[in-house]
């Protein structure tokens, strides 16, 4: 039989992992069921999610296209920055096709024997990045690909610079006041509060990124808040950004706020709905001027961050150098 392998032993696979999103409204139910580990949502829960997607999609699901573009841009950045290494990028999504396991199998089918895994989320939690890594590692063992993983890159200087740049630009939108009058709220996806008992690094890494960006921009009036908590019956990390905006306005007289969602790297539901629609509606009701920093998407400094940490893993493993 003819050899189907595309690449020789010099190629290094890069499994670029991301959350995944439906590609059409009729896929929302299967997607939501996957997020809930096989348990279908109630009709009410499904309706609610479909309605949120309807408000942001405008005919397409932004995260689908953004992930494609990020992976293409990372490939181009790796080719440009490290022409001596032959990196080949594959997508592996947590809750949609191509799933993490599909990405690993595609690498193996192409003849890849060693690879680096990286998640399009800068902060490590056993419930987020840890879950991606576990699945990729299990699939890699099955098909005989040797993998190492980037666990976090939340203080990479180029990432901090990219975020700082966005904070500076967004602060300029408050033309009616000095930047010092604006409260900056760094946010990330909430997680169940039980991660605190697990000594999970997620909250501390998020604070470290917040501090670094604040320092870099000279912002002194900032705090951290959680967003997009699930309704699962158990307690999630707080304070929630919506409650915090309301409290800041009523108790501290805050009239100007900038939200900087450092836990996310792409325009998607949590940003385009939870912040741009839900939080903006609240701000409108309160009479508070709320702005949001732009997402990183294919920002070159972000792509260079990813390329650098991926290459770092290769150097660590002593291969290709």
Ligand X SMILES: CC1=C(CCC(=O)O)c2cc3nc(cc4[nH]c(cc5[nH]c(cc1n2)c(C)c5CCC(=O)O)c(CCC(=O)O)c4C)C(CCC(=O)O)=C3C
Task: Return binding residues for Fe-coproporphyrin III.
Answer: 19, 36, 52-53, 132
Is the separation of the CB atoms in 103 and 90 below 8 Å? Answer: yes
DSSP 21-73: --SSGGGHHHHHHHHTTT-PPPHHHHHHHHHHHHHHHTTS-HHHHHHHHHHHH
- Which listed residue (35, 76, 207, 282) binds ligand X by CB under 6 A? 35
H/E stretch holding 163: helix 157-171
Tell me whether residue 49 or residue 150 sits nearer to ligand X (CB atom).
Answer: 49
Q: Does 55 bind ligand X (CB under 6 A)?
A: no
Distance CA 280, CA 292 (A): 10
Residue 267: closest CA among 242, 292, 233, 239: 292
Is the separation of the CB atoms in 305 and 156 below 8 Å? Answer: yes
* Chain residues 223-262 in contact with ligand X, contact rule CB under 6 A: 230, 232
* Chain residues 153-212 in contact with ligand X, contact rule CB under 6 A: 189, 191
Q: Does 145 bind ligand X (CB under 6 A)?
A: no
SS3 298: coil
Binding mask 99-138 for ligand X (x = CB under 6 A): ----------------------x---x-xx----------
Is the separation of the CB atoms in 88 and 112 below 8 Å? Answer: yes
Q: How far is the CB of 228 from ligand X (least distance, A)?
A: 6
Beta bridge partners of 18: 93
Q: Does 303 bind ligand X (CB under 6 A)?
A: no
Tell me whether residue 117 or residue 263 sits nearer to ligand X (CB atom).
Answer: 263
Q: Does 269 bind ligand X (CB under 6 A)?
A: yes
On the 0-12 / 13-18 / 19+ scale of CB atoms within 10 A, 160 is: buried
Torsion of CA 39, 196, 155, 307, to 10 degrees: -30
Beta bridge partners of 149: 117
> Residue ranges for the binding site for Fe(2+)?
189, 270
Q: How far is the CB of 241 from ligand X (least distance, A)?
A: 14
- Which listed residue (63, 163, 213, 219) binds ligand X by CB under 6 A? 63
Q: Does 36 bind ligand X (CB under 6 A)?
A: yes
Tell me whether residue 29 or residue 102 sits nearer to ligand X (CB atom).
Answer: 29
Tell me whether residue 179 or residue 272 sits nearer to ligand X (CB atom).
Answer: 272
Number of residues that bind ligand X (CB under 6 A): 19
Binding residues for ligand X (CB under 6 A): 19, 21, 32, 35-36, 49, 63, 121, 125, 127-128, 189, 191, 230, 232, 263, 268-270
């Amino acid at each position: 039989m003819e050899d189907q392998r595309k690449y020789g032993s010099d190629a290094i696979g890069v499994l670029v992992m991301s959350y995944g999103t439906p590609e059409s409204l009729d896929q929302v139910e299967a997607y939501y069921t996957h997020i809930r580990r096989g348990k279908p949502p109630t009709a009410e829960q499904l309706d609610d999610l479909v309605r949120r997607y309807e408000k942001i999609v405008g005919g397409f699901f932004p995260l689908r296209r953004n992930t494609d573009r990020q992976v293409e841009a990372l490939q181009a950045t790796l080719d440009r920055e490290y022409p001596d290494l032959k990196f080949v990028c594959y997508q592996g999504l947590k809750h949609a096709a191509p799933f993490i396991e599909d990405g690993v199998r595609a690498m193996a089918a192409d003849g890849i024997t060693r690879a680096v895994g990286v998640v399009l989320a800068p902060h490590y939690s056993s419930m987020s990045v840890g879950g991606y890594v576990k699945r990729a590692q299990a699939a890699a063992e099955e098909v005989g690909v040797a993998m190492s993983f980037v666990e976090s890159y939340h203080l990479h200087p180029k990432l901090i610079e990219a975020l700082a740049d966005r904070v500076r630009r967004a602060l300029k939108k408050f033309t009616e006041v000095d930047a010092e009058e604006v409260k900056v709220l760094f946010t990330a996806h909430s997680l169940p509060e039980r991660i605190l008992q697990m000594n999970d690094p997620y909250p501390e890494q998020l604070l470290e990124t917040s501090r670094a960006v604040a320092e870099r921009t000279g912002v002194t009036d900032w705090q951290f808040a959680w967003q997009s908590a699930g309704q699962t019956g158990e307690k999630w990390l707080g304070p929630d950004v919506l409650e915090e905006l309301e409290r800041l306005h009523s108790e501290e007289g805050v009239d100007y706020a900038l939200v900087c969602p450092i836990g996310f790297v792409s325009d998607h539901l949590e940003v385009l709905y939870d912040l741009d629609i839900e939080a903006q509606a609240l701000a409108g009701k309160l009479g508070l001027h709320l702005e949001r920093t732009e997402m990183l998407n294919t920002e070159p400094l972000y792509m260079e961050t990813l390329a650098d940490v991926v290459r770092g893993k290769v150097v660590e493993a002593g291969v290709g150098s």
